[in-house]
Amino acid sequence: MRQGSEDRLPVHGFVLAGGKSARMGEDKALLRFGGRAMVEIAVEKLRTFCAAVSISGNREDLEGFAPVVREGRVDIGPAAGIEAGLRAAEQPWVLFVPVDVPLAPAELLRRWAEDALATQGLASSTLLADGVRQPAFCMFRRDSIGKVTAAIEAGRLRLNELLDAAAEAGEGLHSAYDASALGGATEAKVRRWFANVNTPEELREAEAWLPRAS
């Protein structure tokens, strides 16, 4: 159920949907997962707590799910989606999630965002699973756009590099929110939450986890 506007956080959520889906053999954003398009699943999760929700990617065909923000660069991977989202953001914080990780719980995303907003001096944040950063899930202060663009111009295109760039020069902090902090999060469950769906085999495996994922 969608929550009321008074429950929304000052966060603009973006679904990163600019990938080419080469390994899947068909468009992952529109791929049915548990009977719903994966982009719809991601958008609806963000709408439970974000004040604004959009899709980042040069994909006019996804406008029926949420407003689409076009990427200004090509062939540099998700960094283009991060930059485009930061430029278009309507809220002081900007949160990004990948379209192809459908099992991450909305409650985990909300708690992560709340933790970031409550951390004084924070410039960027990501999720942590089994002690490993999950940089495709990333948050930035909107005013970090200059640092992110400078990093891209310097060839620093990995998401971890962009997260670090936002917090460089002593002007901000980076944090990683441990997914296991969510109640009932066993190691096996956390691994399921962050399972990418890149191939038909991974799709079948992830769908088999649906009853046990939450």
Range of the domain at 111: 5-213
Q: What is the per-residue pLDDT for 18? A: 75
Q: What is the pLDDT of residues 6-39, one digit of tens each?
A: 689 999 999 999 765 545 546 899 999 999 999 9
Contact indicator for 19, 193 with CB cutoff of 8 Å: no
In the chain, the largest separation of any two C-alpha atoms, in whole Å, equals: 46
Chain segment 42-82, per-residue pLDDT in tens: 999 999 999 999 999 998 999 999 999 999 998 899 999 99
**Which helix (DSSP H) or strand (DSSP E) does residue 135 occupy?**
strand 132-141
Decide if pLDDT at 214 tops 80: no
- pLDDT tens digit string along 179-199? 999 987 899 999 999 999 989
Return left, alpha or beta for 35; rule: phi > 0 is left, psi -120 to 50 is alpha, else beta: left
Predicted pLDDT at 4: 56
pLDDT tens-digit readout, 138-175 = 999 999 999 999 999 999 999 999 999 999 865 689 99
End-to-end CA distance of the chain: 16
CATH of the domain at 63: 3.90.550.10
Give how many domains the chain has, as a whole number: 1
Distance set, CA 201 to CA 21, 63, 103, 195 (Å):
14, 28, 16, 12
pLDDT in tens, 94-125: 999 999 999 999 999 999 999 999 999 999 99
99, 38 contact by CB (below 8 A): yes
What pLDDT is recorded for position 80? 96
Rounded Cα gap, residues 31 and 40, in angstroms: 10
DSSP SS3 for 101: coil
| pLDDT band at residue 210 using 50, 70 and 90 as cut-offs | confident
d(CA 137, CA 95): 8
